[in-house]
Amino acid sequence: MVKRGLRAAFQATAADSARLEPEYWGLERNGSGELSLEGQSLPALAAQFGSPLHVVSTARLRQNAQRFLDAAAQQPLPCGVYYSFKTNPVPGVISELQALGFGAEVISHYELWLARRLGFAPDRIVYNGPVKSEASLREAIGGGILLLNVNHREELAQVSNVARELGVVARIGVRVTVGSGWSGQFGTPVAGGLALRVFEEAQANDALEVVGLHAHRGGMVRREAELASFVEETLRFTDELRERLGLELSLLNLGGSLASPSVRGLSARELRDNRTFARDIAAPRPSESLSIEGYVAGICERVAAHYQRLGRPAPRVLLEPGRSVTSDAQLLLARVHSLKVDGERAYAILDAGINLAESCRSEYHEIFSASRARAPRSRVYAVAGPICTPGDTLFWGARLPELTPGDSLVIMDAGAYFVPFSTSFSFPRPAIVAVDGGQVKVLRRAETFEDQLALDQAQS
């Protein structure tokens, strides 16, 4: 009885903080009461290209990218911007960024191959990651890419062996972890002198030229203080490298991790209350999130000031944005297949679930009705997908208009990790289209049933 009463009370009231509206993402409400992008009705796109459907706003993508490039150009030291392929490895998206002047940050042989396939010059490629095949090292070292970041000490021998085999000296950086950055399988901790010893060993290897340091904050950076702490910890270690090893770095690779203003991680309590009581989850406040300009300046100005105080030339800064470039430039359309009432909970069962939008289970992602954009959000639904597992529930309590089967819903901020984390679990993956100046272009066709079997050998 208590749970039922709390659920009713929570469902009768909206969240304390204002919800984000479709206009934040550049969507419009057309005369038919549907959401549209640059005049293209979203339900009509789903009808034309199939549902589910990814839709890229090329204008938003270019705007985000240009803000990064403009901010980098205004800094007091050289600053390069390299897109994190893993965030959204769609060639049509990457090519837009490449045309504007982005470099490529890759973490696998496939991504390295893709960068070269798309025409990135070797000196516009940074290769990271904890697993690098020998074939990929031959391609990277032999091709003369800008920077190959050694993830951990044990990788030094593999890299130097390939360099000797090719008869060249490999230009490398070493990935380190500082107190406020990712650790575990990534990099070598600065604490306890471990990272210093890796640099020392690398410096003594005549097949290696140590030119850079790589550090990555990880997570979602939303506050300037978080960024400042990470940068300052990293700079203190660069001082130690110079003092102990006489090493002057020419490249300082400081990763990405800037949050998308309209996405945030959800706490265990928020998830529990949403599941148990269908309690609204408060939207992020974009105005309180660190901007692209603030992020770039927060890194570069600190690095420049640090080296100016020491009277030494500053290294070139390399940034690896991903989420902050593509997240809010892409959305996922899904269709309401059916409605189901189970006790006191109403379910909207979609043709897309954790197979395409797993991030919704741990992050705030806004959801709208694309078919009923002017209707009040009068009912709370549990929004589930088509996969036969109880875990395929994207939203335990989403406030939406009264729905009917066939309605299109739109999940925002689908441009970061939705595509690379998607699976073909029982359902082929959807098409990806871009809307550019009111025109629609197919970036990737939908998978077919035959595609699902294309790699299998015929059985007798």
Structure tokens at 346: 């109403």
Residues of the chain with pLDDT under 70: 1-18, 180-183, 459-460
What pLDDT score does 459 carry?
61
Residue at 280 is within a domain: no
Of 151, 86, 149, nearest in space to 114 by CA? 86
Contact 70/102 with Cβ under 8 angstroms?
no
What pLDDT score does 15 carry?
45
Residues 89 and 34 both lie in one domain: no
Residue at 455 is within a domain: no
Residues 94 and 180 both lie in one domain: yes
Q: Which residues contact 91 (CB under 8 A, 6 or more apart)?
A: 114, 118, 443
Residue at 272 is within a domain: no
Contact 360/343 with Cβ under 8 angstroms?
no
CA distance 423 to 354: 9
Residue at 179 is within a domain: yes
What pLDDT score does 417 carry?
97
Contact 339/348 with Cβ under 8 angstroms?
yes
Residue at 284 is within a domain: no
Residues 430 and 294 both lie in one domain: no
Instruction: Identify the CATH number of the domain in which residue 212 sits.
Output: 3.20.20.10
Q: Provide the 3-class DSSP secondary structure of residue 446.
A: coil
Residue at 450 is within a domain: no
Residue at 267 is within a domain: no
Look up residue 414 and give its amino acid. A
Query: How many domains does the chain contain in total?
Result: 2
Contact 151/186 with Cβ under 8 angstroms?
yes
Residues 72 and 216 both lie in one domain: yes
CA distance 276 to 269: 10
Residues 195 and 246 both lie in one domain: yes
Instruction: Identify the CATH number of the domain in which residue 361 sits.
Output: 2.40.37.10
Please, which contacts does 122-127 make with residues 24 or more away whose CB atoms are closer than 8 Å?
122/146, 124/82, 125/82, 126/82, 126/253, 126/318, 126/320
Residues 66 and 190 both lie in one domain: yes
Residues 147 and 226 both lie in one domain: yes
Residues 94 and 159 both lie in one domain: yes
Contact 356/422 with Cβ under 8 angstroms?
yes
Of 424, 423, 357, 420, nearest in space to 107 by CA? 420
Residues 356 and 311 both lie in one domain: no
Residues 358 and 307 both lie in one domain: no
Residues 234 and 97 both lie in one domain: yes
Bridge pairing between strands 170-177 and 188-189? parallel
Domain extent, residue 382, equals 2-50+328-445
Residues 251 and 356 both lie in one domain: no
With 0-12 / 13-18 / 19 or more C-beta atoms within 10 angstroms meaning exposed / middle / buried, residue 2 is exposed
List % helix, strand, coil for the chain (3-state, nearest 5).
40, 25, 40
State pLDDT tens for residues 95-154: 999 999 999 999 999 999 999 999 999 999 999 999 999 999 999 999 999 999 999 999
Residue at 271 is within a domain: no
State pLDDT tens for residues 412-424: 999 999 999 999 9
Contact 156/135 with Cβ under 8 angstroms?
no
User: What is the secondary structure of 336-354 as a DSSP string?
Assistant: EEEEEEETTEEEEEES-SH
Q: How far is CA 198 from CA 210, 216, 421, in A?
A: 11, 17, 33
Q: 172 forms bridges with which residues in the sheet? A: 148, 210
